Structure formats: C-alpha cells, structure tokens
C-alpha cells in the first residue's frame, strides 16, 4: 500500500487501536472503499474520496453531516461518521487525498441485482422512508456537491464536446450508441420539471446502495450519500427501478438478457406506496418518465466518459464504459416500451 493508504490513515481517526484486517470492497465506481474487520467482524467502512470526481469535498461532507441526523427512526438504521482525532468529519492529507470513516451496519448485505420480489418491495419502502425522513431537513442548507448532476442539457453539451474531440476509432466503435443518444436527446430535450417540488434526494439509488438484513432481507438504510443534494423525486425513482426490474449487471454485453420484470416493478411500487404520503399528484405523474430518463442519463455519461478516455468511472477494460452505455441504452428502450404499463400500475397503486 502507498504511504497514504488505509494503514497509514487509521491512526488519524478516533477509533480503538486494534489489529484491524483491511479488506478492499470493489463494488463502487468512484471511491476506494475498505472494510475494517475485527476478529472477522466488519466494524467500520473506510473510504478514500475521489477528489477528481468530487471537486468540492467540503460541500459533499457538509451535505452528509446535514442529512445523517434526520436519517434515523425505528424503521431506518442509523449510520454515523467517525471523527478524526482533531474532531473533524473527514481527513485531508493533501489537495487530492481525502479520507472518511463510517460505522458499519451489522448483519447487512447489498445486492447488485435481484429476482426476489420481497427485496424489491423492501427497496421501495426504504426509499420512501428516506424521503419521508428528509422532509424535515431544511432545503437551503444543502448545496450542490456536483452541480448539474442530472441536468440533461449539461450532459448533452458534454456529450457533444466529447464527440467533437474523440479519436476516430472510438467514434467508429461507438457509432450506434452515438446515434441512439442523438435521437433520444431529440425526444427528451424539451423536458421541463415544471412545478415539481425540489427535494433532498439521494441521487444514486441503485439497488446496491441499499443495505438489507442478511437474514430476513428487510431493508435497513441507504448508503453512499456522496450525491445527497437537491433534486426531483423521479430521479431517485428512476434510478431504483432501472436497477431492480433489470435482473442483469449494468455492463451486460448480451442485450437479450436485459429485462423489465413486471413482478419486481409492481413489488417495488407496493413498497413505495407504504411510505409515499409526501408525494404530490404532479410527482406521481412524472414517475414513469424517470424510469426512461435515468438510464439514458447514465448511459450518455458512460458514453461521454468512453469518448474522453475513461477519466470518470473506474474501468477494468478499455471498452467497459461503452458496454455500460449500450446496456443502459437497451434498458432505456425497454422503459420506453413499458411507459403505458408503468402509468397504469402507478395510477392503481397511488
């Protein structure tokens, strides 16, 4: 490990001095994450924050500090930040090396995908609970840790700039994806959230950012709060649905495996409806559009990153971002085909 690796930073946090085993967790695309185990029991989560992706770590951490006190009740497990020895909520080594530590939720597990309708139902319940709890927090204290994170116009401009500057071989390999992106942008570029209320959103509610109890699979809480900031509820709705009703990994190469599982969708809606009193009629009308919007936004971001040389998302091979993009665009098509169905289910459940 390098001089600023996990072992080197542990003494700077206010934890007992024990012989912790440090185990890398490779699930995320952005930060470097490690589990600290004591006698084989996971105890803490240690993360090196990606200062290239998150240009304002102070704002990011302030948003988390604002949110965490509200995210706790009998149906929502509390997560806490571990302070440094000088009382701060994160450790800054230098301008590019930031670390934080959080408590581990005991007996918890996360899933990348599922075919279990019980898990889908629990996911809906916990996302509704997350938003219900954060209703009590004042909006104005939350700042944008990534300005324009789900801004379609910004992502379109970045995509256009990337295509203008990309290497010819990348443009050729991504030709079909680029065409789909341009066609879909024409369909959705006039989208306007109108009078929808701004909310404090998670903004990255994919299934593996939800913790479940290892035994009974009850949803416990949401994790990875780096993108907690203002947004619209259909962002969180669409992100959750795209990773729940599609039962394969996000960079699946066999497009025939990409699904829209109606049983999982209806179970998720059932769960959400149990904690949905905060939703307005206008928000409910926009939910199904979120299922089309969010995979498309993620897809165009992955495509842009591929064209720019994979500078944002972690990749294990050169064309992984292109595979992610193509898979996400394939699900965007599935969502478009199921718009009427989703509207009918949502109207019935709400």
Report the CATH number that the domain containing residue 136 is assigned in CATH: 3.90.1200.10
Instruction: Return the pLDDT at 323.
Output: 96
Q: Note whether 202 and 311 are same-domain residues.
A: yes
Q: What is the pLDDT of residue 4?
A: 65
Residue 326 belongs to a domain = yes
Contact 238, 291 (CB under 8 A): yes
In a domain, 73, yes or no: yes
Mean pLDDT of 246-269: 96
Find out whether 268 and 121 touch, Cβ atoms under 8 Å: yes
CATH of the domain at 31: 3.30.200.20
What average pLDDT score do residues 187-208 get?
A: 90
- Which pLDDT score, from 0 to 100, does residue 196 have? 94
Q: Give the integer Cα–Cα distance in Å for 137 and 71.
A: 10
| Judgement on whether residues 135 and 189 belong to the same structural domain of the protein | yes
Q: Which of 294, 282, 302 is nearest to 334 (CA)?
A: 294
pLDDT tens digits, one per residue of 90-139: 999 887 889 999 999 999 999 999 999 999 999 999 999 999 999 999 99
Final residue in a domain of this structure, among 106, 132, 152: 106
121 shares a domain with 92: no
Choosing from 73, 106, 139, the residue where a domain stops is 106
How many structural domains are present in the chain? 2
Confidence of residue 193 (pLDDT cuts 50, 70, 90): confident
Domain shared by 162 and 281, yes or no: yes
For residues 43 and 35, give the distance between their C-alpha atoms in angstroms, rounded to a whole number.
Answer: 7
Among 29-43, 109-123, 254-268, 315-329, the minimum mean pLDDT is found in: 29-43
112 found inside a domain: no
Confidence at residue 172, expressed as pLDDT on a 0 to 100 scale: 97
Assigned domain for 111 exists: no
Question: Dmax over Cα atoms in the chain, in whole Å?
Answer: 57
* DSSP secondary structure letters along 186-233: HHHTT---TTPPPEEE-S---GGGEEEETTT--EEEE---TT-EEE-H
Same domain assignment for residues 122 and 52: no
Q: What is the mean pLDDT of residues 321-334?
A: 97
Task: State whether 167 and 250 are in the same domain.
Answer: yes
Average pLDDT, the chain: 94
- Verify that 98 and 137 share a domain, yes or no: no
Residues 189 and 222 in one domain: yes
Domain hosting residue 282, numbered range: 117-349
51 confidence band (pLDDT: 50, 70, 90): confident
Is 165 a domain residue? Answer: yes
In a domain, residue 1? The reply is no
Q: Is residue 154 part of a domain?
A: yes
Which pLDDT score, from 0 to 100, does residue 1 have?
40
Question: Could you tell me if 262 and 171 lie in one domain?
Answer: yes
Please report whether residue 280 resides in a domain: yes
Average pLDDT over residues 41-68: 93
Residues 250 and 139 in one domain: yes
Q: Are residues 170 and 306 part of one domain?
A: yes
Q: Could you tell me the CA-to-CA distances from 10 to 22, 31, 82, 84 in Å, in that order? A: 10, 17, 11, 9
pTM listed for this prediction: 0.94
Percent of the chain at pLDDT exceeding 70: 98
Res 2: pLDDT: 47
Q: Are residues 337 and 279 in the same domain?
A: yes
């Amino acid at each position: 490990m390098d001089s600023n690796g996990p072992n080197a930073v542990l003494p700077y946090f206010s934890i007992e001095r024990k012989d912790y085993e440090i185990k890398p967790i490779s699930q995320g695309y952005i930060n470097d994450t490690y589990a600290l185990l004591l006698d084989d029991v996971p105890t803490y989560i240690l993360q090196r924050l990606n200062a290239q992706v998150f240009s304002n770590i102070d704002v990011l951490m302030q948003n988390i500090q604002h949110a965490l006190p509200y995210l706790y009740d009998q149906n929502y497990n509390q997560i806490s930040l571990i302070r440094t020895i000088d009382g701060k909520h994160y450790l800054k080594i230098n301008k590019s090396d930031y670390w934080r530590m959080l408590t581990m939720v005991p007996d918890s597990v996360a899933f990348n995908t599922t075919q279990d309708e019980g898990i889908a139902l629990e996911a809906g319940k916990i996302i509704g609970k997350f938003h219900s709890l954060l209703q009590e927090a004042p909006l104005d204290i939350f700042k944008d840790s990534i300005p324009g994170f789900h801004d379609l116009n910004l992502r379109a401009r970045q995509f256009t700039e990337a295509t203008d500057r990309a290497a010819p071989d990348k443009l050729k390999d991504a030709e079909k994806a680029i065409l789909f992106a341009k066609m879909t942008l024409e369909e959705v570029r006039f989208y306007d959230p109108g009078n929808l209320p701004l909310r404090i959103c998670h903004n990255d509610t994919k299934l593996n950012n939800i913790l479940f109890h290892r035994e009974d699979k009850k949803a416990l809480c949401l994790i990875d709060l780096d993108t907690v900031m203002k947004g619209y509820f259909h962002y969180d709705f669409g992100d959750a649905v795209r990773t729940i009703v599609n039962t394969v990994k996000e960079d699946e190469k066999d497009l025939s495996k990409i699904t829209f599982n109606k049983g999982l969708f209806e179970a998720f809606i059932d769960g959400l409806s149990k904690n949905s009193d905060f939703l307005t009629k206008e928000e409910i009308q926009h939910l199904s559009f979120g299922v089309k919007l969010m995979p498309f936004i993620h897809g165009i971001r992955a495509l842009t990153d591929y064209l720019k040389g994979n500078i944002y998302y972690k990749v294990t091979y050169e064309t992984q971002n292109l595979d992610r993009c193509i898979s996400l665009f394939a699900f965007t098509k599935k969502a478009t085909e199921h718009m009427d169905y989703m509207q009918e289910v949502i109207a019935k459940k709400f």
